[in-house]
Structure 1
Amino acid sequence: MDSITIDVRTGGSAVVRDLTRECADFCRDRGDGLLHVFVPHATAGVAIIETGAGSDDDLLTALDDLLPRDDRWVHQHGTPGHGRDHVVPAFVAPSMTVPVLGGRLTLGTWQSVCLVDTNVDNPNRQVRLSFLPG
């Protein structure tokens, strides 16, 4: 298995950040296998969704509707409502696996690998990409 960690700056607002290019570059020329994407953070996840047509904003809106940023959370440190950020990975998993054939991700036409980060208290993230040859 080969593995790297990439640094991602997400800024001071909730974001869906497309990582497809970084994932594709990592898998290029590797043949067949599996790409594993993992976010080693308690307040972020990864998702395969369409980007650029509003789905990324829709995802953030849905998370806000489902998990409001208010004072209901037992976990209270950080900015107001930060406790919900610690619940997000239960809904947007911190890892995923994508099949790779001939060094290319086998994503559908409109699918992108994305980091989902609602934590405005931590603008710096790491994402681990691991390739398991088949």
Structure 2
Amino acid sequence: MHQPARSAAPGLDRVWSLARGWSEYSRTRTFAGGWFFRAVETETDSRPGPVRDAVVAVRREWDGYLAHHVALAVEAGDLAAGTEPDQVVFEVVGLLGAANDRSLLLDDATADDRALRAVRALLVGRGADPARLP
């Protein structure tokens, strides 16, 4: 089982741990319909009101947390200078979300592994040391 992401050092190690944890969460189907918030996001995205507002707040908190750790990785020199944390978050969330969707809709058992490989390539492409992303 994957260690909690908060046990990883802040910055690149935490970003990678979060991605791995997210992938494991999707793969193990804690909820029968995949990620609870992914399902709720798609259900409420065009329905104004307090439920949508709460879902938006959770998404922004998650994205902000992930962006903070990407920014720490840039500051530490673990990712290339000029790397835009919000862009990395957009791509990581997109890849992992697509894996969840494909694994559910298409019963694709390889989707989570492929998404995690893509996240790793994304981080390496922005200067991360591949040895730190097992």
**TM-score calculated relative to the size of structure 1:** 0.32
Higher strand residue share = 1
Greater relative CO (CA pairs within 8 A, separation 6+): 1
Higher helix residue share = 2
**TM-score calculated relative to the size of structure 2:** 0.32
